[in-house]
Amino acid sequence: MESKATVKTEFADLSETKKSVAVEIPSDIVDAQIDRVARSYSRQARIPGFRQGKVPPTLIKKRFREQILHDVAHDLIPRAIDEVLRERGLEPVDTPDVKDVTLDEGQALTFTATFETLPPIDPGPLDTISLRRPAVTLEENALEQTLTQLQNRAARFEPVEGRGIEEGDTVTLDVERKPAGEGEKGDHHHDVVVEIGAKANPPGFDDHLKGLESGADKSFTIHYPEDYAIKEMAGTSLDYAIKVKDIRKRVLPALDDEFAKDVGEFDTLEALRARIEQDLQREAEQEADRNLRADLLKELAARVTVDIPDSLVERELDRRTEEFARRLMDQNIDPRRANIDWDQFRDSQRDASRESVKSALVLDEISRRENVTVSEEEIDKDVAQYAERSGLTPTALRARLEKEGALSRLAAGLRREKTIDYVLSQAQVTRD
């Protein structure tokens, strides 16, 4: 047990990264703070029989006991923690967890604070890192596949006359469905657009529609198998009643010079092909660079052999979960109704999150050692690029990032990217 500035502390190493400190603040400090808070309450309190500001301190302490003790604890405890951590040269990675608080007038204030700290990180010699970047080659049919995608996007949908529904048609339906065999009224959906042959269609649904002409009505039952992807539907049967309102066929444009001109500023189909090939090559090169950086991060993470704070792993899991939820919302899917086991999702991301934290800790240590910094100009440039993609002005986006406390994370990300560039310049990289 040691005493620093009348405050007693006792440290305990719970693990390489987890620490605990028991703190005892003497009663004279506690009582002095109680008196200060009570005087503050006295100046504002309105109690019958007393003029404002003239209420006896003993009555104030009795009337507002719980509030006063709460204020005292919230003032003394953080200050005491900051002081003992500063004296020890410790920086917790998260807010300390305070427990076992005892506080009353005339007694010492005692509590226990548990927190995690960063372990010592040794990146090791960077020139011993060995990486390989394979040569980039496009798949043989990549160009034709991209042309086909552009062709499909430019397709026209023309009304069908004189025949029934066929594979590939786009059909507009009125649909009523209800549980099979039940007399209750089902749910109605008007002007439902269905592409015949689409993977998302219910099993056997397309077969019931094929051959029907515009204006036709039909009733049928669909049986969903036990292993159906949508769990709520698995093992059920639904009665459908449909009315065909419109049938359209997809008409693809010819792949010629006119098509190239419609797609963009290309005079010929060959010019379009050349641009597509350039874009595919550039994307492949970028993918190869991303893979190289990912391999480097794995190498760096493997150099961390000490325990890392669980709170950092949980923070990374939170980030991944929030990012996945945002992607769902971007697709107009409510994450709360998406039938996702979020605990299972977090478990599936735990190992990757731990590796991500390890590599980030190594990068941060290298950036400190090599004095890698990020300028305001670099931050502004990144904000401007992000703003352009999100449809906001750079000023509006920067204000939002500052309000959300995300600007520092953006700067940290930029610093890590610069550090990755530095490490790659020092590593042994074989380029095929």
Q: Which residue range(s) make up the domain with 93?
A: 2-116
Q: What is the largest CA-CA distance in the chain?
A: 98
Question: For residue range 183-228, what is the model confidence (pLDDT) as tens digits?
Answer: 667 788 999 999 999 988 999 999 999 999 999 999 999 999 998 8
Q: Note if the pTM is more than 0.75.
A: no
* Domain identity same for 393 and 346: yes
**By C-alpha distance, which of 287, 297, 279 is closest to 135?**
287
Query: Rounded to whole angstroms, how far apart are CA atoms 253 and 153?
Result: 10
- Confidence bin at 4 (pLDDT 50/70/90): very low
pLDDT surpassing 50 at residue 1: no
Q: Please give the residue that has the higher pLDDT: either 248 or 38.
A: 248
CA 21 to CA 7: how far, in whole Å?
A: 12
Is residue 44 one of the residues assigned to a domain?
A: yes
Is the model's pLDDT at 63 over the cut of 80? no
Residue 317 pLDDT exceeds 80: yes
CATH number at 173 reads 3.10.50.40
In sequence order, what E strands does 134-198 have?
156-159, 170-179, 187-195
Residue 193, burial from CB neighbour count under 10 angstroms (0-12, 13-18, 19+): exposed
Q: Which of 251, 284, 316 is the last residue of a domain?
A: 251
Could you give the number of structural domains in the chain? Answer: 3
Residue 49 — very low, low, confident or very high, per pLDDT cuts 50/70/90? low
| Average pLDDT over every residue of 7-36 | 90
216 with 279, same domain?
Answer: no
Q: Where are the alpha helices (DSSP H) in 331-406?
A: 342-369, 376-390, 394-403
